[in-house]
Chain A
């Protein structure tokens, strides 16, 4: 005997052969009676029934989102902040020096007798607007979205949606499964970027991350849009979807690499466990609070400092000609663009909506969405991409802003909507 103990690896065929023999002895498959679950499973994947079903599901969730967020925001927090907290605070801190009052509470003009408008947004101070936006508006929107996404994830519906949209996404070099990071990003782009790991090739991951960072607004932004421009939000989404598919198609053509088919496992439908859904919603909400709130407060402080020192006027007059020429956006939107680097939800809140036409608001919101990704998302890009891909993403971003913003500007001019 000269047997040597070595790690002996079977070939794949030998291993499958062995698996076969084992399962023959161990597994007995009885007659199977298809039930409701199976009926539902085929109904939601077959395009003829599946697409209407998908529209119904997404519409239902969207309605829930709007109602839920509206209930807390408009029904409760707008009143608390607007009629109690902000007026009280401005009275209590009236004696502070001008600069400090401006940073903490906001522009004194907002508290004058003849002011028309919503002080919640207009004040701009750290303790007024800075608290109002994350806690009164955005928090309820992200909770609603996280809840909805958790239900979609846990029932097993997401992979079926992926099967449905596979044909469309394949045209831009992505797999149907790209719908998962896309939908997850509607809650928050950070886990969306992580979810791209389930895509197979580097090319697909790079494309997905670039498209997410540029075209997919997060829950915080959506919450602000829903609150401030409910009439335009449909157009914003439609435009972003066109950009996502159009620029995805171009990226697929110019970026080298392969986009192979991926075999996807579609799990059976399962009744979600409420404890798991609540736990997931909570852990994501907590992450939002920890990441977003400090940046919103910081953003408010920066903007108010820029206003108080007069620096904002200098920046605005410098950018005025450029903004007007390329995008048709007034210089008043400058403050919003400045904080767009920090938080896009805050940036949307700072848009001088009353002073702009509908089309200007529309184009500004689009610009802010495709603008630089928020810092937390950017940190994720640094982690997940190599330097070449990061540079390409930034290049893509800049090109997109000018090309897409420029096209929308031209469309607006042609349509006479400015």
Chain B
């Protein structure tokens, strides 16, 4: 059975999304670090059973605490999985850092730009289409607590592919790091 991992920083709504997708009842709170262990659930994508895993929030792939260790270990153990990177639309920078790390590890990634409502309230505008062009992976704006964008996310999970980090660097017109050890 193929696997979908929900990853992202803490308190970006992974567990809310998990509950929505898997019809599960993971504990959800408004403070970072509510999920300290992983939860598994099931969902159907295009007629196929898929295992979906809610993973503790992690700032980066270098673990700082036990919950982050759980997250990193989970990612390493499931090489072929699709990773849904959940990003808080009002804090895109931080979410992108982790997303890039996961992309560099050659996982199939799809980005869920969650909390679109919060970003809008804060007058932050995120251009999802441009982000998709740059990264080369699907980017879906959503509000998981209200279920907005959920259908699009599910229908595009299959489009998640591994991409080259070099390609992303080229897309923003940079040469950052390309010169080193080649």
Interface residues of A (CB under 8 A from B): 7-11, 14-23, 25-33, 150, 153-156, 158-159, 177, 180, 194-195, 197-200, 205, 264-265, 267-270, 272-273, 276, 279-280, 283
Cβ 8 A contact of B123, one of A30, A180, A270, A283: A30
Interface pair A197/B172, CB less than 8 Å apart:
no
Given the complex, which residues of B lie within 8 Å of A154, measured CB to CB? 28-30
Q: Which residues of chain B are within 8 angstroms of A150 by Cβ–Cβ distance?
A: 29
Q: Does B36 contact A (CB under 8 A)?
A: yes
Instruction: Please tell me if the beta carbons of B31 and A180 are within 8 angstroms of each other in the complex.
Output: yes
| A20 to B, closest residue via Cβ | B93
Q: Contacts A22-B131, A205-B66: A17 and B32 contacting too (C-beta < 8 A)?
A: no
Q: Given B28, B56, B166, B174, which contacts A8 in the complex, CB threshold below 8 Å?
A: B166
Tell whether B161 is near chain A: CB-to-CB under 8 Å: no
B97 contacts A9, CB within 8 Å?
Answer: no
Kindly identify which residue among A9, A17, A30, A198 contacts B176, using a CB–CB cutoff of 8 Å. A17
Chain A min CB distance to B54 (Å): 15
A28, B123: Cα distance in complex, Å: 8
Decide: B36 and A8 in contact? CB cutoff 8 A. no
Known: A7-B104, A15-B100, A18-B169. A27 touches B31 (CB 8 A): no
CA distance A191 to B4 in the complex (A): 26
Residue interface bits B24-66, CB-to-A below 8 A is 1, else 0: 0101111111101100000000000000000010000000111
When C-beta atoms are compared, the residue in chain A nearest to B29 turns out to be A153
What separation, in Å, do the CA atoms of A180 and B96 have in the docked complex?
28
| A178 → B minimal CB distance (Å) | 12
Residues of A close to B124: CB separation below 8 A: 27-30
CB-CB under 8 A from A23, the residues of chain B are: 92-93, 96
Given A25-B172, A29-B123, verify A18-B100 contact (CB < 8 Å).
Answer: yes
> Nearest chain B CB to A411's CB is how many angstroms away?
38
Taking chain B's interface residues, is the majority helix, strand, or loop, or is none over half, making it mixed? loop
Chain A residue at smallest Cβ distance from B118: A268
Instruction: List 5 interface pairs A-B (beta carbons < 8 Å), by A numbering.
Output: A8-B165, A19-B93, A21-B173, A25-B130, A150-B29
Which chain B residues border A31 with CB–CB below 8 Å? 123
Contact flags B163-177 to A (C-beta < 8 A → 1, else 0): 001101100111011
Whether A198 contacts B177 by the Cβ 8 Å rule is no
When the two chains form their complex, are residues B92 and A21 in contact, meaning their CB atoms are under 8 A apart?
A: no
User: How far is it, in angstroms, between the C-alpha of A7 and the C-alpha of B67 when the chains are bound?
Assistant: 26
B82 interface hit (Cβ, 8 Å): no
Q: How far is the CA of A154 from the CA of B31 in the complex (A)?
A: 7
**CB interface residues, B 90-131, toward A, < 8 Å:** 92-93, 96-97, 100-101, 104-106, 118, 122-127, 130-131
A191 vs B172: C-alpha distance when bound (angstroms): 45
Q: Are B65 and A197 interface neighbours, CB within 8 A? A: yes
**Please, which residues of chain B bring their CB within 8 A of the CB of A205?**
66
A272→B126 CA distance, assembly (Å): 25
Chain B nearest CB from A213 CB (Å) reads 18
The reply to whether A17 and B64 form a contact with Cβ atoms under 8 Å apart is: no
Least CB distance, A5 to chain B, in whole angstroms: 8
A14 and B123 within 8 A (CB): no
> Is A197 in contact with B36, judged by CB distance below 8 angstroms?
yes
Q: Is the CB of A26 within 8 A of B30?
A: no
Give CA–CA (A299, B17) in the complex, Å.
42
B125 touches which of A17, A28, A276 (Cβ 8 Å): A28
**Given contacts A17-B176, A273-B145, A279 and B130 within 8 Å (CB-CB):** no
B104 touches A10 (CB 8 A): yes
Complex: chain B residue closest to A15, CB-CB: B100
> Which of B27, B118, B131, B173 has the most chain A CB within a 10 Å cutoff?
B27
Q: Is the CB of A18 within 8 A of B36?
A: no
Counting CB contacts under 8 A, is B134 at the interface? yes
Are A156 and B166 interface neighbours, CB within 8 A? no
Contact partners of B66 in chain A: CB under 8 A? 197, 205
Which A residues are in CB contact (< 8 Å) with B34?
Answer: 153
Say whether B11 contacts A280, CB under 8 Å: no
